[in-house]
Amino acid sequence: MQPNYRRCVSCREIAHKRDLWRIVRVHDTQAIQLDAGMGRSAYLCPQRTCLQTAQKKKQLSRALRAPVNGGIYMALAQRLKDLSNLPD
């Protein structure tokens, strides 16, 4: 895999990391947050099917080795909704 490319935990597709959502388990606090922070990361495609599959199969929890609460999934769903409302 080339530098700056990551794999979606849901569909396993490889894409540039700027095209994926980053979910982080912060090293110091073990908190789960979006986009920023140092720690264990998982990447997810900004697609409804990937989000639904990741939530249903608990793929983010497995990849981050920590429980992911519903608030993270709600924030990602809101981002997806905001993306679909953008004009072309």
Verdict on whether the full-model pTM lies above 0.75: yes
CATH number at residue 37: 3.30.1230.10
Rounded to the nearest 5 degrees, what angle is found at the Cα of 28, between the Cα atoms of 24 and 30?
50
Instruction: List, for residues 1-50, the tens digit of each pLDDT value.
Output: 568 999 999 999 999 999 999 999 998 888 999 988 899 999 999 999 99
How far apart, in Å, do the first and last CA atoms of the chain sit?
Answer: 31
Query: Residue 70 is part of which domain span?
Result: 5-84
Q: What is the pLDDT of residues 51-64, one digit of tens each?
A: 999 999 999 999 99
pLDDT at residue 85 in the model: 77
Q: How far is CA 75 from CA 13, 53, 80, in A?
A: 22, 16, 9
Round to whole Å and give the CA distance between 28 and 87: 39
Number of structural domains (the chain) is: 1
Helix (H) or strand (E) holding 73: helix 70-84
